[in-house]
Amino acid sequence: MVTASHNPKMDNGYKVYWTNGAQIIEPHDKGIKSQILKNLPTIELGEYFDYEKQLVKYPLEPLREKTMNLYFEDALKQISINSQEVNAKCKPIVHTSMHGVGHIFFTNLMKRLGFKEPIAVKEQMLPDPEFSTVIYPNPEEGEGSLNLSFKTADANGCEIVLANDPDADRLAVAEKQKDGNWRIFTGDQLGSMFAYYFVKNYKGDLSKCALVASTVSSKMIKGIAEKYKLRFEETLTGFKWISNKVIDLEKEGYTVLFSYEEAIGFSIGSVVRDKDGVVAGCCFAQLYAQLCEKNMTLSEYLEEIYKDVGLSLIHICRCRRIERCRSRWSPYH
């Protein structure tokens, strides 16, 4: 899969997935590398550069609509928690796709879940490879990338913003506070809210369930798992490790309710064996709809979690300390 993600426009990259639907880990990465090296130098493609001839011989099958519908159907089976009536009463939500591909997926799935149509940030609604309204199209950057979202929300009387990055695999959330300022939640705060929400809404045996997070993420969901008797697993950094761990747990008979990494990457169910900002956004909208019924804010919900489970201390290493470390390491490089 080729993706620009939220990188600068000149930096396209690619991801390689295995047959289990997750990104490759050992030994598959080394196996692929060895096959590439074994087949160097590259062969002359000759007639394969004649695209017209090849299209006659191997016509392309348009898969967009078919694939999208399969995605929506699978997602609805796995993430429909609220009734459509609860979702329909939800307060309006502003959504930005940050000049990427998320708009059509997010609005379509929200409609199928029974929500009113989200209010789109029109200037960022459609794909734009120039990312013309932001310096860096990553909602992790915070206020700098969300200014237009806040402006749209203020103009429409909305209290919540959901933001996807351009390839729609990440989700940022912000809430308007009583003093009129906007609070942008961290990935760890969102991870805690997600985990608590899924645990509290699960109808089966929680001892047969699990939560997964990477080692750089908060230990808050470990606390949630311990309090409510779920299994918790920690992985190396990156969703290739998280998704493969989820698959391993499923083979052991566990239902993995939720997995995440602090860099606003969240995975729910098996619709996609990777972080998925669209499914995450629709799940968060359902969480928000439940809070609207209780006349409760996201900030108040987070405080409720802290009171129930406790706090998790996160120590952030400042840049000066990093520079001192680098200076100490430099003689060894």
Question: Which active-site residues does the annotation give?
Answer: 5
SS3 182: strand
Residue 106 to residue 110: CA distance in whole angstroms: 6
| Residues 22 and 245 sit within 8 Å (Cβ to Cβ) | no
Residue 202 to residue 286: CA distance in whole angstroms: 14
| Residues 241 and 220 sit within 8 Å (Cβ to Cβ) | no
For the chain, what percentages of helix, strand and coil (3-state, to nearest 5) are there?
45, 15, 40
Closest CA to 216 of 309, 123, 314: 314
Residue 224 corresponds to which tokens in the numbers above? 């949630």
Residue 142 corresponds to which tokens in the numbers above? 């915070």
